[in-house]
Structure 1
Amino acid sequence: MPIYMDRHDIPEEITAVHVAQMHREDLKIEHLYGCKGMTYWCDEKRRTAFCLIQAPNKKAIQDMHNHAHGEVPHRIIEVEASIVESFLGRIEDPEKSQKTELNIINDPAFRTIMVVGLRKSSFKIMDPNRMIGELIKYNKTILQSIDKFLGRVVRQKSGNFLLSFNSVTNAVLCSQEVFSKLGGVTEDKSPDIQLSIGLHVGVPVTEKDGIFEDTIKLAERFCTMAHGKIVLSQEVKELYESENLNVKLSHKNIKTLSVGEEKFVNQLMDYTEKEWTNAAFNSDHFSKNLGYSKSQLYRKMIGLTGKSPNSFIRDYRLTKALDLLDKKVNNISEIAFGTGFNSPAYFSKCFMDNFGILPSKYVQNYAE
């Protein structure tokens, strides 16, 4: 039977006790609708509650809630139990903390999402076997820090980590430790590998269809644009400083984006993801569709990414091409045209200029 998570935006007068009572009422009549309540999360501070329920469909959940207490959910999405557990740490009620009839759960589902990326940025120095060995070593170091700061690994693949933390402070400290251990190493000893980290915060159910979809997307975009830094949302910075008695979060490798910059990142990436395979796509399209003059766009791009608009487009395409070469599904010509390059020869030149190796040699020696 499918598993769903719903979100309730709870009024000011509703407390964790009230939510526990409503959950109990759900359990009394759930069998009438073919449902099985697994657990829930309640956040009095942010006025939200999330229920995890096995059900035949979304309507059964709405009808059950309406019958039990009248508080119908504002949004319902389908989820996988294993993914929910990876993000939130449980898929059943925690044991009662007190000997009371009612199991009151005041446990927020609000999480800090961290994306860590180890990118193969060049192949000029390191031979294939050494690069593989270094990546394995770096992955181990990252996992040790995740464990130390009570993070949970949601996804790990090819030097990329998607992580969930209950605590904003732990997430930020983890990112700083990883960077202190590996940031200098990748710059000095392994300049062919670049470490980037993005952090954002959010709740599991929004208007999107996927769990934590909005939060993950922005953290991934921060990581994509970080280029050897830790990039935080404004909300992460403010929460960290409030949790640490207003200790200012300042580090040479940390960049905090303003709300306006976050909006620009989303505009930029939304348009890039839509148009990057179009060979005609260039900085003029950026200016026209994002509503900036060429000089304004150039300044914003340099400030956020360290790259001009055309360099950003080229590097984005090359990174996508690198991923496709790793998969070994298409030949080099197909990948060249599929990633927006006008010809295989021009693609090979750009690839060589950027990574220090021809695509054919990369496939032969480095492709995973």
Structure 2
Amino acid sequence: MPIFMDRHDVSENVTAAHVAQLHQQDLKIQDQFGCRGLTYWFDEDRKMAFCLIEAPSKKNIIAMHNTAHGEVPNQIIEVNAQVVESFLGRIKDPVSETDDHLTIIDDSAFRFIMAVGFIIGEVGDRYGPMEERGLLTCMQTLGGIIANFDGTIASQEKDYFLVSFQSVSQAVLCALELYSTFETWAENAPCERGHLKIGISAGVPVEGERPFFEDVIEQARNLFFIASEHIVVSHEIKRLYKQESLNTFVDESLFLVLSPTEEKFLTLLMNYMEEAWQNPNLQVEDLGKNLGYSKSQLYRNIVRLTEMSPNAFIKNYRLNQAIDKIGKKAGQIAEIAYETGFNSPSYFAKCFHERYGMSPSEYQHRSFS
């Protein structure tokens, strides 16, 4: 039977005790609707409740809530129980409940999501291509640091983690520790050839019909993508950190804090690039036209966020896609060149060598030797 998470935006006078009572009312009649209430989360500050329910359909959940207490959800999405547990830490009530004992769960589902990992360094950097063994060692060590700050690795890709934190302070301080540790490693093996990148976002698991934590994950990945010499964070991260820390922020020289306007621009930019990057005829003018920005606005925003020109950004985006495809053995070098929007394999090889200091075939050989 599928599992769903629903979202209730409650009124200001609703407390954790009220939500606990509503949960108990659901449990008493859930069998009538073929449902099984697994657990819930309640955010006192944001006045949001999220229920995790096993049910035949969304309609059954709405009917159960409506019959039990009349508080129907604002949104419902289908979720994967393992993914929920990896980001939120549990998929059942912390303590078993009985009809004669009310267990109040005052546990927010708001999370701080960090994307952290390594990329291949550019030629001319002090970093060069990272060996697979060195990358694995570094990722394992970073995992230990993350655990020290109560972070949970929710998912792992080849070169980055998605980490879930309940506390903004823990997320920010963990980022600083990771940054400091990597700077120390940069002069020693095995991590001297990697380039550490960190992006941090925040939000709730259900936003409209979007998949579980999709908005937050997407933003964290976007921030990770543009990260270079700074830890890149959303404006909400800085605001909430200052709220917890007597209106002060950490060493801002290490951070790039995006404004709401910049966050909107970055989302538009990355969404469009995801659709258009394979088009060999893609021009800078196309970016401005489709994003609704003038040429000068586009240039200023891209340079501010990525420290590169729009043309260089497009090429860099394509090279990132290409090196991922090579690493996944997703075709011959010439095929990958065309698939990633380059007009010819020779131009692709030239751009690849300029960035990574080796040819695509050399990189392929190192990756699988």
TM-score, normalised by the number of residues in structure 1: 0.94
In the alignment, the residues of structure 2 paired with residue 77 and residue 214 of structure 1 have an alpha-carbon distance, to the nearest angstrom, of 14
Q: Give the aligned partner of residue 139 of structure 1.
A: 139
Q: CA deviation at 1:54?
A: 0.6
CA 1:361–1:122 in structure 2 vs 1: closer, same or farther (change >3 Å)? same
Q: Give the aligned partner of residue 167 of structure 1.
A: 167
Matched, 1:254 2:258: no
CA 1:96–1:54 in structure 2 vs 1: closer, same or farther (change >3 Å)? closer
Q: CA deviation at 1:12?
A: 1.3
Contact 1:122/1:193 (<8 A) preserved: no
In the alignment, the residues of structure 2 paired with residue 254 and residue 358 of structure 1 have an alpha-carbon distance, to the nearest angstrom, of 33
Q: Give the aligned partner of residue 203 of structure 1.
A: 204
Q: CA deviation at 1:250?
A: 2.7
Q: Secondary structure at the match of 1:252?
A: helix
Partner amino acid for 2:144? Q
In the alignment, the residues of structure 2 paired with residue 316 and residue 239 of structure 1 have an alpha-carbon distance, to the nearest angstrom, of 31
Q: CA deviation at 1:126?
A: 8.0
Q: CA deviation at 1:318?
A: 0.3
Q: Give the aligned partner of residue 63 of structure 2.
A: 63
Partner amino acid for 1:160? Y
Q: Secondary structure at the match of 2:8?
A: strand
In the alignment, the residues of structure 2 paired with residue 330 and residue 10 of structure 1 have an alpha-carbon distance, to the nearest angstrom, of 52
Contact 1:325/1:367 (<8 A) preserved: no
In the alignment, the residues of structure 1 paired with residue 123 and residue 305 of structure 2 have an alpha-carbon distance, to the nearest angstrom, of 25
Q: Give the aligned partner of residue 104 of structure 1.
A: 104
Q: CA deviation at 1:362?
A: 1.2
Contact 1:96/1:104 (<8 A) preserved: no
Calculate percent identity across the aligned residue pairs: 48
Q: Give the aligned partner of residue 363 of structure 2.
A: 362
Map Cα deviations across residues 144-170 of structure 1 (whole Å, 9 max, x no partner).
111100000111222310000000100
Matched, 1:177 2:177: yes
Q: CA deviation at 1:96?
A: 7.4
Aligned pairs, number: 365
Contact 1:26/1:37 (<8 A) preserved: yes
In the alignment, the residues of structure 1 paired with residue 159 and residue 273 of structure 2 have an alpha-carbon distance, to the nearest angstrom, of 23
Matches within 5 A, 1:1-368: 1-95=1-95, 101-122=101-122, 131-183=131-183, 185-186=185-186, 192-367=193-368
Greater displacement, 100-109 / 270-279: 100-109
In the alignment, the residues of structure 1 paired with residue 187 and residue 226 of structure 2 have an alpha-carbon distance, to the nearest angstrom, of 17
Q: CA deviation at 1:286?
A: 1.4
CA 1:187–1:341 in structure 2 vs 1: closer, same or farther (change >3 Å)? farther
In the alignment, the residues of structure 2 paired with residue 252 and residue 367 of structure 1 have an alpha-carbon distance, to the nearest angstrom, of 39
Partner amino acid for 2:74? H
Contact 2:280/2:342 (<8 A) preserved: yes
Greater displacement, 285-294 / 299-308: 285-294
Partner amino acid for 1:287? G
In the alignment, the residues of structure 1 paired with residue 238 and residue 96 of structure 2 have an alpha-carbon distance, to the nearest angstrom, of 33
Contact 1:26/1:65 (<8 A) preserved: yes
Q: CA deviation at 1:352?
A: 1.1
Greater displacement, 243-252 / 80-89: 243-252
In the alignment, the residues of structure 2 paired with residue 326 and residue 81 of structure 1 have an alpha-carbon distance, to the nearest angstrom, of 30
In the alignment, the residues of structure 2 paired with residue 334 and residue 246 of structure 1 have an alpha-carbon distance, to the nearest angstrom, of 53
CA 1:127–1:75 in structure 2 vs 1: closer, same or farther (change >3 Å)? closer
Partner amino acid for 1:222? L
Q: CA deviation at 1:211?
A: 0.9
Partner amino acid for 1:280? N
Q: CA deviation at 1:184?
A: 5.1
In the alignment, the residues of structure 1 paired with residue 101 and residue 137 of structure 2 have an alpha-carbon distance, to the nearest angstrom, of 50
Map Cα deviations across residues 48-105 of structure 1 (whole Å, 9 max, x no partner).
00000111111111111111111111111111111111111111111279xx821111
Instruction: Give unpaired runs (5+ residues) of structure 2.
Output: none
Instruction: Give unpaired runs (5+ residues) of structure 1.
Output: none
Contact 1:114/1:219 (<8 A) preserved: yes
In the alignment, the residues of structure 1 paired with residue 86 and residue 359 of structure 2 have an alpha-carbon distance, to the nearest angstrom, of 39
In the alignment, the residues of structure 2 paired with residue 239 and residue 96 of structure 1 have an alpha-carbon distance, to the nearest angstrom, of 33
In the alignment, the residues of structure 1 paired with residue 43 and residue 89 of structure 2 have an alpha-carbon distance, to the nearest angstrom, of 16
Contact 2:128/2:194 (<8 A) preserved: no
Contact 1:183/1:195 (<8 A) preserved: no
In the alignment, the residues of structure 2 paired with residue 220 and residue 367 of structure 1 have an alpha-carbon distance, to the nearest angstrom, of 27
Map Cα deviations across residues 307-366 of structure 1 (whole Å, 9 max, x no partner).
000000000000000000011121112111111111111111111111111111111112
CA 1:70–1:165 in structure 2 vs 1: closer, same or farther (change >3 Å)? same
Partner amino acid for 1:321? A
CA 1:105–1:126 in structure 2 vs 1: closer, same or farther (change >3 Å)? closer
Greater displacement, 204-213 / 237-246: 204-213
CA 1:8–1:127 in structure 2 vs 1: closer, same or farther (change >3 Å)? closer
Partner amino acid for 1:202? G
Contact 2:127/2:195 (<8 A) preserved: no
